[in-house]
Structure 1
């Protein structure tokens, strides 16, 4: 059996940084493994659905929640990762999503949505505005939606996932 990569030992953390644990639980409550039902609108306008897995974990001294999303049933879709860093100076989350094989990346800022969920807003690789939301968040499930700016600047849904904790 191969030994664990020493870099991964430095990357991972056992839990939230105790100094900011309460604030870190905004996304920290997602730490674990989730089964997802993923619905995605492809460039041809057609919606396709696939199952997948979304894993969240603590990283970088417990000040980061990092995830890996994998939907093997989307032909040509590859794993991606999101790094969510809590900025102690602003109380907001600095967020970067990457999927190198596509390639795809987003930069966003996250915050509580006032209703028990989270909202992230920023831009995609082409500089278009984006919004991602986590709603109906419970210890056992959540609903995620991804929106991109349409031709008139309004947000249009391009992806949604329903997650259930394993």
Structure 2
């Protein structure tokens, strides 16, 4: 497994697209978060999670591991919709945007990401009955806000499916 890890993980970004790579490169490191949403019964819940980002593939992409509930809480705080997934993000100079793939058990999502002002907006490319986007906002060195949103009226109104508030581990 060590050879795989060494071939996958990079200590720094690829210098060719350094400025573009830092859009997601700013998140490289370990984060703890609180996930906020409503369960299937409509009851508010807050779940601790962790999000770990790294440069990968000779620094040409940013990959993460998204774990909710966190590894520390998974067996104490069981959730029927828990996630242990990964996202890989490649900057695409032909589109001046990011090609993004998120996958976990039972889900594979293709997205395109672009900065919009002080936010990063990832738009889902493979939904049928609604529009979905993920939004990073209020981005600071040691914290950020993230929302998973959907619209069933072609973007007229947006509903928040869930959101998280992340803090960088010290």
TM-score tier after normalising by the smaller chain length = 0.7 to 0.9
Cα 1:124–1:156 change in 2 (3 A) is: farther
Structure 2 CA distance for partners of 1:127 and 1:63, relative to 1, 3 Å: farther
Which of 157, 160, 165 matches 2:160?
157
Instruction: Verify the 8 A CA contact 2:36 2:163 in the aligned structure 1.
Output: yes
Q: Which moved more, 1:66-75 or 1:19-28?
A: 66-75
With 60-69 and 41-50 compared, the bigger mean Cα shift is at: 41-50
Q: Distance in 2 between matches of 1:124 and 1:38?
A: 24
Q: How far apart, in 1, do the equivalents of 2:6 and 2:20 lie?
A: 24
In the alignment, what sits opposite 1:29?
Answer: 26
Q: C-alpha distance in 1, partners of 2:38/2:15?
A: 40
| Counterpart pick for 1:84 among 81, 84, 89 | 89
Q: Which runs of 5+ in 1 are unaligned?
A: none
Cα deviation digits, residues 97-149 of structure 1 (max 9, x gap): 1111xx2232111011112x211111456563211111111111000011022
User: For 1:67, what is the secondary structure of its paired residue?
Assistant: strand
- Closer/same/farther in 2, CA of residues 163 and 124 from structure 1, 3 Å limit: farther
In the TM superposition, residue 74 of structure 1 has moved relative to its aligned partner by: 5.2
Moved over 6 A (4+): none
Give the counterpart of 2:104 among 99, 107, 112: 99
Matches of 2:96 and 2:127, distance apart in 1: 25
Alignment of 1:30-45 (within 5 A): 30-45=27-42
Q: Using the TM superposition, name which of 139-148 and 127-136 deviates more.
A: 127-136
State the partner residue of 1:11.
8
Is the aligned partner of 1:148 residue 2:150? yes
Whether contact under 8 Å (1:141, 1:165) holds in the other structure is: yes
**TM-score, with structure 1 as normaliser:** 0.87
Aligned residues: CA RMSD = 1.8
C-alpha contact 1:134 1:143 (8 A) present in aligned 2: yes
